Amino acid sequence: MKNKPIFVLRSLVVFSLLLLGAVCAVPAQGVRFRVKIDPALVKEPVSGRLLIFMTNSQKPLDAIEPDFTNPNAVYISGTEIRNLAADRPVEIDADALSFPQKFSAAAPGEYQLMALLDRDHSYTYDGAGAGDLYSKVAKVAMPAATTEIVLTGQIPTRGVNPVKNVEVVEYESPTLSAFWGRPIRMEASVVLPPDYDESKSAKYPTVYSIHGYGGDHLKALRGAADLQKQMAEKKRPEMIYVYLNAHCPLGHHVFADSANNGPWGTALVNDFIPYLEKRFRMDARPSGRFLTGHSSGGWSSLWVMISHPDFFGGTWSTSPDPVDFRSFTGPDLTKYPPQNAYFGDDKKDYNLVRFNGMPVMSVRQYAQQEAVLGYYGGQFSSFEAVFSPKGDDGQPMRIFDRETGVIDQAVAKSWEKYDISRLLRENWATLGPKLKGKLHIWVGTADTFHLDEAVRLLDAELKKLGSDAKIEYLEGRSHFDMYKDGLGDRIAAEMYAVARPASKAAKK
């Protein structure tokens, strides 16, 4: 899952916006919008996912986005449009695909309205991004007929500030390129120890860190200077940190080989890491290669460790996505006949998101809102891109129907090979000796997405198998406050103790 609220937009550069409104009699077909583009904005026709947001909030807003804590607060309409040009406006029916209900069902009154054209279909993953077009927030009276919207702003590209001893690396993977039949790049931000240039010959243990859903390798650079400062002050042992990019068009590929995304795990171990070890002075041995990650990155780091147990010296994973499919954020995917993805045997909807112990969003609401925001790239779609077979239409097969929640048993069966708990249970005779001392997991007892429930099931399985895995539950912690009180420092010290057991830093 995301390592931040899932639908929170990036901080946007202050912008100037414009929306013109015209209200007519309500037509039989519902609420419609005529979308135009400012001639001064772009010269060529543009395409993408047109999102229209509407809310009855009384607070004047500069931008409107889905409300993570109150999914019913913002109406959303999603429509695919092609070749929108200044001289070719498009008219859409807001009710055709909307959440949480049709726009025409909105109670009479004054609303605020905003449109955004998601040109690269990445809104479901990390919100509005560079190149997206938007309109100004304006008021509209409901019920309304045809409202004219003018897109007048474009989100600029944000540069990356250079930091000493930090390199952004791009590498063309032979394995992935062969799968796709075109060049595919792997990316990472590499943070070197502060004395890297001065030491000339010293080699360092290497930490491979995988971000959560909604992240990428560049966002990690925000903390690069502070990380180097900690190493310089000997508050953290000196290691090389490689922040891997797991973002792909279909979401988060979690470095697992899949039918839809390609062999990302194989490419990491066979292509990218050997390349990095030639370019930088890394230990280049299992006892000096470590994995860590949070959320989807937590699942990724566990998966890569288990898939390549001889290659790495251990994983330190926090708040991982479901590690036991008997609790996949609610439903048990292993049951036959299959459960419903939206509700249990008691017919009550599964809660997906909770804050301070209070349920704020169900699996049904999350999945149906995601379907309006974009056909692919969302969290559940991202899971399907990794775990599902490719369908006859070339798309990842749906694990459940978004309208009804009915689970496809054949697809659920295909997911079994990615069930970490099942994989360990069935292959423990081989994996157990190789994973000795290498599995470390932390999760909060109040995890925002109930991910602690699957971890407890995995924990019980590992105990039955006689594993020495270290699994800790941080009391009262949610998905977003796991690293307060020095968890990151503790993880770094434990890693270094494996790589340099005789050093003073390892004994602290």
What confidence tens digit (pLDDT) does each residue in 103-143 have? 999 999 999 999 999 999 999 999 999 999 999 999 999 98
Q: What is the mean pLDDT of residues 244-248?
A: 98
pLDDT recorded at residue 220: 86
What Cα–Cα distance (Å) separates residue 360 from each residue in 66, 69, 139, 428? 13, 6, 27, 39
Q: Is the pLDDT of residue 15 over 60?
A: no
Tell me the pairing of strands 315-318 and 439-444: parallel
Q: Which residue has the tokens 């993408």?
A: 48
Summary mean pLDDT of the chain: 92
Name the token pair of 281.
């002075």
Q: Is the pLDDT of residue 9 over 90?
A: no
Contact present, 76 and 369 (Cβ < 8 Å): yes
Q: Is the pLDDT of residue 403 over 90?
A: yes
Q: What is the mean pLDDT of residues 76-86?
A: 96
SS3 38: coil
pLDDT recorded at residue 317: 98
Of 120-134, 151-165, 270-284, 294-308, the poorest mean pLDDT is in 151-165
pLDDT digits (tens, 9 = 90+) for 160-175: 778 889 999 999 999 9
pLDDT recorded at residue 160: 77
Q: Is the pLDDT of residue 314 over 70?
A: yes
pTM: 0.92
Q: What is the mean pLDDT of residues 367-372?
A: 98
CA distance 423 to 437: 18
pLDDT recorded at residue 61: 96
Q: Is the pLDDT of residue 19 over 50?
A: no
CA distance 367 to 382: 12
Residue 206: which of 255, 241, 154, 158 has the closest Cα? 241
Q: What is the 3-class SS of 446-493, one letter each residue?
A: CCCCCHHHHHHHHHHHHHHHCCCCEEEEECCCCCCCCCCCCHHHHHHH
Strands, E assignment, 143-230: 146-151, 153-154, 166-172, 185-191, 206-210
Q: Which residue has the tokens 């171990």?
A: 269
Q: What is the mean pLDDT of residues 3-24?
A: 33
CA distance 203 to 418: 35
CA distance 411 to 260: 14
CA distance 77 to 179: 36
Helix, strand and coil content of the chain, in percent to the nearest 5, comes to: 30, 25, 45
SS3 183: coil
| Confidence grade of residue 158 (pLDDT, cut at 50, 70, 90) | confident
pLDDT digits (tens, 9 = 90+) for 20-72: 333 333 334 579 999 999 999 998 999 999 999 999 999 999 999 999 889 99
Q: What is the mean pLDDT of residues 440-467?
A: 98
CA distance 241 to 224: 9
pLDDT recorded at residue 146: 87
pLDDT digits (tens, 9 = 90+) for 325-352: 999 999 999 999 999 999 999 999 999 9
Which residues have a Cβ under 8 Å from the Cβ of 393 and sit 6 or more positions away? none
Q: What is the mean pLDDT of residues 484-491?
A: 95
Rounded-to-10 torsion of CA 264, 187, 421, 309 = 80
Percent of the chain scored above 90 by pLDDT?
88
Residue 107, judged by CB atoms within 10 A of its CB (0-12, 13-18, 19+), counts as exposed
How much is the CA Rg of the chain, to the nearest whole Å?
Answer: 24
pLDDT recorded at residue 199: 85
Which residues have a Cβ under 8 Å from the Cβ of 341 and sit 6 or more positions away? 330, 331, 350, 363, 367, 399, 400, 405, 406, 407
pLDDT digits (tens, 9 = 90+) for 476-487: 999 999 999 999
The number of C-alpha atoms within 13 Å of 343 and in the hemisphere containing its C-beta is 7
pLDDT recorded at residue 13: 28
